[in-house]
Chains A and B, each alone.
Chain A
Amino acid sequence: MDANIKKQLQIKACKVRMGIIEGVYNAKSGHPGGSLSVADILTYLYFEHMNIDPKNPKWEDRDRFVLSKGHTAPALYAVLAHRGFFSVDEIKTLRKPGSMLQGHPSMKLTPGVDMSTGSLGQGISTAVGMALGAKLGEKAYRVFTVLGDGEIQEGQVWEAAMFASAKGLDNLVAVVDNNNLQIDGAVSEVNSPYPIPEKFRAFGWNVIEVFAHSFDEIDAAFKAAAEFKGKPTAIIAKSTKGKGVSFMEDQCSWHGAAPNEEQYNQAMAELQAALAELEA
């Protein structure tokens, strides 16, 4: 992709990562690991790919996004804030009484959130319903959803996958954030969903495999998905849990834990340094 656009996306993603740390640190709880692993993909979708209007979040013809792995809401909130759906200052209210930013996404409270999620396995079904609604209404909008690799252990994901291909929903893209870690350990050890691409292919999906932290690969994958007709597309994105914060990377323990002050300072310093380098 264009080098300048890529640089801008990298800068945005770095700010989104800082937003994730800021939110989870202030909330003293939340899920930084998976939020950091999905930060690049969400940044790409909201800043580059999706047809949306932050001034009109309920615009009828907008592309839709469903965060099926709802616990990584801090990433979605940081992206939405930086994209202009609401003030970046809101991030510090995450998980606090009266906040528009609930522990898991609520479409009733947060501008830009298209579906309330949090209970794993359910978001993808709603994305399928939205894609079906677009087909039925002969609308051009497309629907995107992001699932965790642990989440695909839920049977409902495969009910939805079967239905989406049976109905030929080529306006639907499901991303699997494949960081290989879930609460109880490695996904491959807890209850292996591998091989993931083969499973989606067997369910009748077009499958693309990417490295989740390469904007070039992400861009190529989403553009290919947009062109592909007749089947929904699954993008299996190999990612690093905790990406961008050295001590959180590939650590299962950072799935659902907030950094203390020292850890917060270190994480922010690392991200600041990365940002300074990008902006240099």
Chain B
Amino acid sequence: MADIIKVATRDAYGKALVELGEKNDKVIVVDADLAAATKTGMFKKAFPERFFDAGIAECNMIGVAAGLATTGYTVFASSFAMFAAGRAFEQIRNTVGYPHLNVKIGATHAGISVGEDGASHQCCEDIALMRTIPGMVIINPADDIEARAAVLAMADYEGPAYLRFGRLAVPRINPLDYEFKLGKGIQLCEGNDVTIIATGLMVSEALTAKEILANEGINARVINMHTIKPIDKEIVIAAAKETGAIVTAEEHNIIGGLGSAVAEVVCENCPVPVMRVGVEDTFGASGPAVEMLKIYGLTAENIVTKAKAAINSKN
């Protein structure tokens, strides 16, 4: 077996910004004193004249990004998910979302895998918050390949988008010739007993779960749902119809995120059991990222458990 390559999606974000900057001089990056951590520092180093540090003032940063966008620039605004989607929620809602401006929010350090910094910095609410803003695109890449592709794709998309990146290095699961398609889930493995729909770093856990289930004679379909909004209804409905049970997996509160989005589609179109793997409506805590993921049930084993429960609740 080949060595597993592990890269944090925030690293891919930083590199992709530089790539963008090289081919498009209308790309601007703003950050709020976290350039070293969000990796926008790579862009700052390459294009200092097109990088602006708002300092520790996220609300103003979003407004400045919006104003810049009205003058013809494609603006990437970065901070940790907690302070972008959280602190600046209303700025994003009213000043970016409502006028549908071309601002891309590059939110890093999303979820429990922030690790040692603890609950104050572990944002598990951002997808829920962003999902309620009309016209907002939400992308949660599974690995560095997908993160890069999503950043490049969103630079060509006119309108607001929320890109969710992680701090932790995660296994590369996508091929080098990967092609990003906005709003199109990717079926990674065929299966007919149950479907695992995962996003972000939970996609690789879903693939592991698939193997565990296969050893027990359960054939699971796996879908990588990189775009949470607009959700790919077609792939969800097909999964519900063809496999009769669904498990969602995300590094986010089970309220309001991928699980909710999938359940909404399933309930309205083809009701089948849906079980959610995610942070169980609780705050995080300090500890090494990998341990925290285990403590909070963000594991292949938990996906397996929920998959069996979903299968057992089929009519």
Contact = CB atoms under 8 A, between A and B. Distances in A.
Interface of A: 60, 64, 66, 106-108, 114-116, 118-119, 121-134, 136-137, 139, 155-156, 159-160, 162-163, 166-167
Q: Which of A107, A137, A159, A167 has the most chain B CB within a 10 Å cutoff?
A: A159
Contact of A126 (B49, B50, B54, B95): B95
Contact of A122 (B50, B54, B73, B91): B91
Task: Give the 6 A-B residue pairs with the shortest CB-CB distance, closest first.
Answer: A129-B67, A125-B63, A133-B71, A159-B60, A126-B67, A159-B57
Contacts of A121: 59
A162 B98 CA distance: 26
Nearest to B57: A159
B59 A125 contact: yes
Tell me the dominant secondary structure on chain B's binding face. Answer: helix
Contacts of A136: 28, 49-50, 68, 73
A162 B67 CA distance: 16
B158 to A, nearest CB: 13
A37 B156 CA distance: 43
B48 interface: no
Contact of A115 (B52, B62, B99, B100): B99
B70 A134 contact: no
B99 A132 contact: no
Nearest to B26: A137
Interface in B172-199: none
A125 B60 contact: yes
Nearest to B60: A159
Nearest to B97: A116
A37 to B, nearest CB: 24
A128 B90 CA distance: 18
A162 B64 CA distance: 12
A124 to B, nearest CB: 7
B67 A163 contact: no
Contacts of B313: none
A115 B63 CA distance: 11
A66 B91 CA distance: 15
Contacts of A64: 70
A126 B64 contact: yes
Contacts of B95: 115-116, 119, 122, 125-126
A139 B71 CA distance: 10
Contact of A132 (B55, B67, B94, B98): B67
Contacts of A131: 67
Contacts of A129: 63-71
B68 A116 contact: no
Contact of A128 (B49, B63, B69, B98): B63
Interface in B4-61: 28, 49-50, 52, 54-55, 57, 59-60
8 contacts: A108-B100, A116-B95, A119-B90, A125-B60, A159-B57, A160-B60, A160-B63, A163-B57
Contact of B66 (A108, A118, A125): A125
B68 A130 contact: yes
B70 A133 contact: yes
B99 A116 contact: yes
Q: Which of B28, B52, B91, B95 has the most chain A CB within a 10 Å cutoff?
A: B95
A126 B65 CA distance: 7
Q: Which of A129, A132, A134, A160 has the most chain B CB within a 10 Å cutoff?
A: A129
A115 B55 contact: no
B67 A127 contact: yes
A133 B73 contact: yes
Given A116-B94, A133-B70, A137-B71, A125 B62 contact: yes
Contact of B68 (A66, A124, A133): A133
A128 B91 CA distance: 14
Q: Which of B64, B65, B100 has the most chain A CB within a 10 Å cutoff?
A: B64
A161 B306 CA distance: 52
A163 B55 CA distance: 8
A167 B64 CA distance: 12
A115 B60 contact: no
Q: Which of B65, B66, B100 has the most chain A CB within a 10 Å cutoff?
A: B66
A23 to B, nearest CB: 21
Nearest to B70: A130
Contacts of B60: 125, 128, 156, 159-160, 163
Nearest to B63: A125
A124 B71 contact: no
Given A125-B59, A163-B55, A130 B67 contact: yes
A241 B91 CA distance: 28
